[in-house]
Amino acid sequence: MGVSASITASVGLATLLGAWLGAGSGAAAQPSDDWPHYGGSLAGDRYAAPSAITPQSIDRLSVAWVYRTGDTTDGNGFGGNPSRFQATPILVGGKLIASTGFNRAFALDPATGTEIWTFDPKVDFSKSYSEPFASRGVSAWQDAAPGQGPCRARVFLGTLDARLFALDADAGVPCADFGKDGEVDLSVGIPRFRERDYSVTSPATVVGDLVIVGSAIGDNGATALEPGVVRAYDVRDGGLVWAWDPLPRSDDHPGAESWTNVQDNRTGGANVWSVMSADPGRDLVFLPTTSSSPDFYGGERLGDNAFANSVVALRASTGEFVWGYQTVRHDLWDYDLASQPLLFEHASADGTRRPAVAQATKTGFVFVLDRASGEPLHPVEERAVPKSDVPGEQAAPTQRFPKLRLHATDARPLRFWDHSEEHRAACRRLIDGVRYEGIFTPPSLEGTMLYPGNPGGTNWGSMAYDRGSRIAYAVVTRWPTIVKLIPRQQFLAAFL
Does a structural domain hold residue 454?
yes
| CA–CA gap between residue 406 and residue 299 (Å, rounded) | 31
CB atoms within 10 A of CB 387: 14
CB atoms within 10 A of CB 355: 18
Does a structural domain hold residue 305?
yes
The DSSP letter of residue 263 is G
Q: Where are the beta strands (DSSP E) in 109-213?
A: 115-119, 139-142, 153-158, 163-168, 183-185, 198-199, 205-207, 210-213
Residues of 415-432 as b/e, b for ≥16 C-beta within 10 angstroms? Answer: eebeeeeeeeeebeebbe
Does a structural domain hold residue 119?
yes
432 classed as catalytic: no
Q: Which one of the listed residues 45, 295, 334, 336 is annotated catalytic?
A: 334
CA distances to 35, 84, 99, 121, 132 from 89, rounded to whole Å, are: 8, 15, 8, 18, 20
pTM: 0.92
Q: Tens digits of per-residue pLDDT, 73-98?
A: 876 655 667 788 999 999 999 999 99
| CA–CA gap between residue 387 and residue 385 (Å, rounded) | 7
Does a structural domain hold residue 195?
yes
Confidence (pLDDT) at 19: 40
Does a structural domain hold residue 45?
no
Query: Comparing C-alpha atoms, which of 393, 404, 398 is closest to residue 363?
Result: 404
Does a structural domain hold residue 363?
yes
Does a structural domain hold residue 257?
yes
Confidence (pLDDT) at 387: 98
| CA–CA gap between residue 44 and residue 356 (Å, rounded) | 12
Residue 104: half-sphere exposure toward Cβ, Cα within 13 Å = 21
Domain range spanning residue 231?
66-494
Query: Comparing C-alpha atoms, which of 362, 241, 240, 236 is closest to residue 291?
Result: 362
Confidence (pLDDT) at 13: 29
| CA–CA gap between residue 363 and residue 318 (Å, rounded) | 32
Q: Which residues, 6 or more positions from 390, have their beta carbon under 8 angstroms from its beta carbon?
A: 297, 299, 442, 443, 444, 445, 485
pLDDT mean by block of 10 residues, the chain; 496 residues: 39 35 46 86 92 89 95 70 89 97 97 98 88 93 92 98 98 98 98 91 98 94 89 99 95 93 77 98 99 93 96 99 99 97 91 94 96 97 97 97 82 62 84 92 96 91 91 89 92 79
CATH code: domain of residue 236? 2.140.10.10
Q: Which H or E run contains 346? A: strand 342-347
Handedness of CA 271, 277, 283, 284 (dihedral sign): negative
Q: What are the residues facing 301 on neighbouring strands?
A: none
Report the domain count for the chain.
1
Does a structural domain hold residue 48?
no
| CA–CA gap between residue 339 and residue 287 (Å, rounded) | 10
